[in-house]
Structure formats: structure tokens, C-alpha cells
Amino acid sequence: MYQRAFSICEQQLGPDHPDTATSLNNLALLYDNQGKYEQAEPLYQRALSIREQQLGPDHPDTANSVWSLAVLSKQRQQYEEAASFYQRALTIDEYALGPQHPDTQTIRANYASLLRTMGRDAEAIALDQP
């Protein structure tokens, strides 16, 4: 169904429409949840590219795509890459949504958890106090 929704969006709205990016992200999330990381990553990357072009680098939907890549990288144990994605997503959401927004708080908590996994406890503690 996600593949079908993506195909419809791409055909009706075009390959660079923000809703097409949302369909891509949803399909990628399905693959991600199934452990099909190699299939998920290019879809996440394409969704990010569309959102950056159409919505800008500081839009909350762009942050959502970056966040998805952070989670994927963490699952693949690519911790440095994940940290970079989390930092970028957090920066966008703090600017666009504010530090108290639920998405911002979730990204901050996930980022702090990753930093603890990496043994960077001091940085994680600093994140706990926005």
C-alpha cells in the first residue's frame, strides 16, 4: 500500500512534490522497520533532497527526514553519522519549532541516548538541560 501511495503521489503531484517526499519517507520507514536498511536509506535520502529543495533546509519536515536518517544510522551502529544527523535535526527543530516542542524534545532525548551509547556522557547531560 505504501508503494502504491508513493506511485500515485509521484504520478499525480510530480517527483519533487513535498507530499511525494512524505510517501517516500513512509515507504522507507516500512523497510526500516523490517530491517531492510539498504532499501530504506536511498528513499530517506531522496525524501530529504526533495524537502530541502522544496521546503528549505530549516523546515520541520526537512528535520523529520534528517531525524529518520539519524535513527537508521543508529540502528546500523554508524554512531558518528547518527550523531551528526541528530545534531542537524535538533538544530532545525529548535529554530523552527522551539525547544519545548514535542518533536524537539524527542530528538533531544534520542540524541542524548546515542551520546551515552558512545560514551559521551558529558555531552548527553548538557542536552538534558536545554
- pLDDT of amino acid 128: 82
Q: In a structure prediction context, what are the per-residue pLDDT tens digits for the chain, which is 130 residues long?
A: 888 999 998 999 999 999 999 999 999 999 999 999 999 999 999 999 999 999 999 999 999 999 999 999 999 999 999 999 999 999 999 999 999 999 999 999 999 999 999 999 999 999 887 5
What value, to the nearest 5°, has the Cα angle with vertex 15 and ends 107 and 70?
Answer: 20
Q: With contact defined as beta carbons under 8 Å apart, do 60 and 41 qualify?
A: no
pTM for this one? Answer: 0.91
- pLDDT of amino acid 2: 87
Alpha carbons 110 and 7: distance in angstroms, whole number: 32
- Quick one: which of 34, 37, 28 has its CA closest to 3? 28
Alpha carbons 94 and 108: distance in angstroms, whole number: 10
Per DSSP, 59 falls in state S
Strands, DSSP E only, in the chain? none
Q: Where are the domains of the chain?
A: 1-55, 60-130
- pLDDT of amino acid 29: 94
CATH number of 60-130: 1.25.40.10
Q: State the first-to-last Cα distance of the chain, in angstroms, to the nearest integer.
A: 40
Helix count and strand count (H, E) for the chain:
7, 0
- pLDDT of amino acid 130: 56
